[in-house]
Amino acid sequence: MRKVDLKEAESLLAELIEEAAEGEDVIITRSDGVSFKIVVIPKEEPRPKFGSAKGLVEMSDDFDEPLEDFEAYAP
């Protein structure tokens, strides 16, 4: 974990961001004692849209018909 005061952090910001991106904890402390942590915000993965595959899937006309192999188990 790297702790840096605000004055020093102003000149090292790019370096501190790289360290945080590599998984290092980076804490910046203000003169009044308040501390801040630089964290990486993960990239959001795109979510599929409902209905985006419309027309890509086809079902046979007898899809809902009972299978011959299971006739012995049917009521």
19 found inside a domain: yes
Domains in the chain: how many in total?
1
Any domain includes 35? yes
Amino acid at 32: D
Count Cβ atoms within 10 A of the Cβ of residue 9 and give its class: 0-12 exposed, 13-18 middle, 19 or more buried: buried
* Residue with the larger pLDDT of the pair 70 and 17: 17
Reported as a single tens digit per residue, the pLDDT across 29-72 is: 999 999 999 999 988 988 889 998 899 989 899 998 888 888 88
The CATH number of residue 20's host domain is: 3.40.1620.10
The pTM for the full model equals 0.56
What is the phi-psi region of residue 39: left when phi exceeds 0, alpha when psi lies from -120 to 50, beta otherwise?
beta
- Whole-number pLDDT of residue 72: 86
User: Does residue 61 form part of some domain?
Assistant: no
CB 45 within 8 A of CB 64: no
Domain presence at residue 23: yes
Instruction: Find the domain containing 8 and state its range.
Output: 1-40
